[in-house]
Amino acid sequence: MTLNIKPLADRVLIEPQAAETKTASGIIIPETAKEKPQRGKVVAVGNGKKKHTMTVKVGDIVLYGKFSGTELKYEENDYLIMREDDILAIV
């Protein structure tokens, strides 16, 4: 299923993911849903701006601050759309 949303300029559309914590031994412990996740998958990327070439690409798993971005509901799903500058890291 393709997603028909094109973020404008330097924006990135993210599908938030419940974080899983993986211990050193490899056992995966799903994090309790107490906190709004700060981790998500990039599902669409804008074309950037004259002074901002995009770094992240569709499929990247990214980390972002707790209050970053604007929530968007689209075709029954919840997304976050934010400027690439609000993305902290790629994991």
CB count, 10 Å around CB of 42? 21
Contact 83, 65 (CB under 8 A): no
Contact 61, 21 (CB under 8 A): no
Q: Does 18 bind its own copies (CB under 8 A)?
A: no
* Binds its own copies by CB under 8 A, chosen from 32, 34, 51, 59: 51
- The Cα angle at residue 83 between residues 70 and 44, in degrees rounded to 5: 85
Least CB distance from residue 46 to its own copies, whole Å? 8
Where does this chain bind its own copies (CB under 8 A)?
Answer: 1, 4-9, 11, 13, 19, 21-24, 38, 44, 46-47, 50-51, 55-56, 63, 65-66, 70, 72-76, 81, 84-85, 87-91
